[in-house]
Structure 1
Amino acid sequence: MTPVERERRERLRLRAAGWFAEGVSQAEVARRSGVSPQAVSVWHRAWVDGGAEGLRSAGPPGAHRRVSDEGFAEVAAVLEAGPEAAGFTGQVWTLARVGRVITQVTGVVYASPSSVWRLLRAHGWSRQRPARRALERDEEAVTTWRSTVWPQVKPPQKGRMR
C-alpha cells in the first residue's frame, strides 16, 4: 500500500471516529464510508478502546528498520570518508565491511550481507564497481613480465599438439 493510500484510509477512519462520537450507528458509518460493516465494527472497537488515536495508521507493515535515519547518517559519513579512513586496507567497501561499520557506529548487528544491502538501498546507495585496472599499473612492466617471466613459469599444457 502506498503512503498516499495509507493516509487516505486513515482520514476515512478518523472521519468515522467523528461519526461515532456523534452517535451515528455502525451500519450508517459503513454506508457513508463505503466499507463493510465488519470493518466498521473493528474501527468502532478500536475507537472505544483508544479514541481517535486508536484509529491512526500504524505505518507501513513489516519489520521496522533497525538503524534510525540519524544513525545511518553517521554511518554514511564514515562510508564517504572511505575504507582506509575506517581502518580497512584497500579502497573497496564490501558488505561485510559496511556491516562492521554499522555495528561500530550504531551498535546494531546485521546478520547477513543481504540485510546490509537492503539498508543501503533503502537509503539511496547503489553498488559501485572498482576500475578494472589500478591507477598505479605500469604497463611497460606488465609487458616485460609477460614476455620474459611468464613463459618460464607457465605450466605445460596437457593434450595440446604443437
Structure 2
Amino acid sequence: MASYKQIEYEILRRRCVALQQQGWKQVTIAQALGLTQGWVSRTLAKYQQQGQDALAWRKPTGATAKLTDDQLHQLVVELNKGAEHHGFPGQIWTRPRVNEPGCRSSH
C-alpha cells in the first residue's frame, strides 16, 4: 500500500468516487490508487451516506476534554495561586504536581 500524507486523502477520496462513477470496480480503484479495497469500500459507503461532505479533509479533533469548562476555570485559578500555596517547594508546576490529589483543594 502506498504512503500518503493525511491531507492527500481528500484528493484520493474524490478520485475514488470519480473512478467509481466512471464504472471502475473497487478492486481496480484500490490497485490504481495504491490503497486497500477496504479503504475504497468505506470511502464509497461514506460518500453514499453523506455526499460531498464525506470527501472533505478535516483536521483531526483530538481527545474530548475530561474537565468541564467550570473545572478548567477553577484549575487556572488554583494554578495561579502558585505551587507553594498548595504545599509544594518552589514555584514550578509539573504534571505530577498538578495531578496530585492534594493540589485540587486549597491548603
Q: Structure 2 length as normaliser, TM-score?
A: 0.51
* Residue pairs, 1:66-145, within 5 angstroms: 66-67=66-67, 72=72, 75-82=75-82, 91-92=87-88, 95-100=100-105
Separation in structure 2 between the aligned mates of residue 68 and residue 33 of structure 1, nearest angstrom? 43
Separation in structure 1 between the aligned mates of residue 50 and residue 29 of structure 2, nearest angstrom? 18
Separation in structure 2 between the aligned mates of residue 8 and residue 57 of structure 1, nearest angstrom? 13
Separation in structure 1 between the aligned mates of residue 105 and residue 53 of structure 2, nearest angstrom? 39
Structure 1 residue 49 displacement after superposition: 1.0
Measured against aligned partners, the alpha-carbon deviations of 1:20-52 in whole angstroms (never above 9, x if no partner) come to 146242334312321111221111101211234
- The one-letter amino acid of 1:97's match is G
Measured against aligned partners, the alpha-carbon deviations of 1:63-110 in whole angstroms (never above 9, x if no partner) come to 5331379x647623421322686xxxx633671133458xxxxxxxxx
Higher relative contact order (CA 8 A, sep 6+): 2
- The one-letter amino acid of 1:8's match is K
- Calculate percent identity across the aligned residue pairs: 15
Distance 1:51 1:73, change over 3 A: farther
Taking only aligned residues, the RMSD between alpha carbons, in angstroms, comes to: 4.1
Residue 8, structure 1, aligned to residue 5, structure 2: yes
Q: Which residue of 1 aligns with 2:39?
A: 39
Q: Which runs of 5 or more residues in structure 1 are unaligned?
A: 102-162
Structure 1 residue 60 displacement after superposition: 6.9
